[in-house]
Amino acid sequence: LSFENDLRTAFKLQQFEIYYQPIWSAENKIICFEALIRWKHPKRGLLTPDAFLNLIHDLGLAIELDYWVIDRAIQQVRKWKFINNEAAKISINVTAETIQNGQIVDHIKAALQREQIPANDVTIEITENTAMHNIESGKNTLNELKKMGIQVAIDDFGTGYSSLNYLRAFPSDVIKFDRSFVSDLNNQDINEEILKSLIPLCHRLNKKVVVEGVENRYQFDLLKKLSINGFQGFYLSYPVTVKEANKLLLMSK
């Protein structure tokens, strides 16, 4: 119960912080950052979302948190423009509730206007699972975002039970293959064959491909041969603070 109270006051006490994990091109340039929420708990230290996102939902704070991240992350993009304009782009995770609540479109519009950031610099990530449970309401919102010029990414792709259906039924610009495809590359050739088949399919459907969970050189070298647009994972960079992200942006110029 005290954890619950802590979470209720976390906004007011400014205990949330966004970490940023780069997404890299095959040429080792940063093409974008993914915003990842962390909670600096006064006693428990830095908490990752699996420790508190469920409770955030139960407390009815999910939309508030997503809006907070959207505002902060878009503000950060404006600052990054001065360091490395080319790489100053952001990918933001949002939950089902936020997609169902139609106001996300106006909320992002306002943030972009305030910071004078083109819509094209922003990607909204929804998990395949979220997409599945919100086909109708989700489709409308995503189409509106796309009309504005926002990119839509399907996160954790390949984990649902009818993944191929989303390629067809769901408006998206980017497919982020789930890290399970990458983690088993070493010992299961089947993942390589699946990637080799699905990546050209994504390109034929005009979608960019990102792989996540790249954890070692072996995986990165293998994946670089597969026409992948973006690479993400601990081998390339952990999620980092703004200060460290600034350094990476300078180095990546």
Residue whose entry in the numeric block shows the structure tokens 């955030």 = 56
Are 128 and 154 in contact by the 8 Å Cβ rule? The answer is yes
The CA-atom distances, in angstroms, between 223 and each of 141, 158, 216 are: 33, 17, 11
Alpha-carbon 44 to chain mean position? 25
Say if strands 151-157 and 230-231 run parallel, antiparallel, or are unpaired. Answer: unpaired
Q: Tell me, what DSSP letter sits at residue 251?
A: H
Q: Count of residues binding ligand G (CB under 6 A)?
A: 24
Does position 121 interact with ligand G (CB under 6 A)? The reply is no
* Least distance (Å) between residue 253 CB and Na ion: 28
94 binds, among Mn ion, ligand G, Na ion, none (CB under 5 to 8 A by kind): ligand G
Does position 49 interact with ligand G (CB under 6 A)? The reply is yes
Residue whose entry in the numeric block shows the structure tokens 């509730």 = 97
Does position 125 interact with Mn ion (CB under 5 A)? The reply is yes
Tokens coding 2: 């005290």
233 binds, among Mn ion, ligand G, Na ion, none (CB under 5 to 8 A by kind): ligand G
Does position 125 interact with Na ion (CB under 5 A)? The reply is no
Best CA proximity match to 212, nearest among 141, 125, 145: 125
Report how far residue 214's alpha carbon sits from residue 113's, in angstroms, rounded to the nearest whole number. 35
**Which one of 10, 32, 74, 94 is in contact with ligand G (CB under 6 A)?**
94
x-marked contacts with ligand G along 57-86 as a string, rule CB under 6 A: ---------x--x-----------------
Report how far residue 48's alpha carbon sits from residue 64's, in angstroms, rounded to the nearest whole number. 18
**Which one of 73, 155, 214, 233 is in contact with Na ion (CB under 5 A)?**
155
**Which one of 76, 155, 202, 220 is in contact with Mn ion (CB under 5 A)?**
155
| Helix, strand or coil, per DSSP, at residue 197 | helix
x-marked contacts with Mn ion along 164-203 as a string, rule CB under 5 A: ----------------------------------------
Element (DSSP H or E) covering residue 212: none
Does position 156 interact with Na ion (CB under 5 A)? The reply is yes
Q: Which residues bind Mn ion (CB under 5 A)?
A: 93, 125, 155
Binding site for ligand G (CB under 6 A): 21, 35-37, 48-50, 53, 66, 69, 93-95, 155-156, 179, 212-215, 232-234, 239
